[in-house]
Amino acid sequence: MLKILYFASLRETLGQGAESVELPAGVTDVGALLAFLVARGGVWETLAAVKNLRFAVNQEMARRDTPVQGGDEVAFFPPVTGG
């Protein structure tokens, strides 16, 4: 199982802040996980449209090619600006 977290506007758009999913066959890195989520269609396609989408695996900043495996926690969050 993977624990997936969604933060800020993603949480609002997707209607949930977290979920657990079985690691899909062929998903070995963050980019493949993102493609799997986007393929759900509907609001999930929003993930593909977010510019500068950020990722973390097990609470460490990650890139699309960062490996994932069962038991990992993967977080998705949009860039945050403040004033």
**pLDDT digits over 6-31, tens only?**
999 999 999 999 999 999 999 999 99
Does the pTM surpass 0.85? The reply is yes
Pick the CATH number of 2-71 from 3.10.20.30, 3.40.190.10, 3.40.50.300, 3.40.120.10: 3.10.20.30
Task: Report DSSP letters for 32-72, one per residue.
Answer: HHHHHHHTT-GGGGHHHH-TT-EEEETTEEE-TT-B--TT-
- The answer on pLDDT for 83 being more than 80 is no
Instruction: With a cut of 70, say whether residue 36 has pLDDT above it.
Output: yes
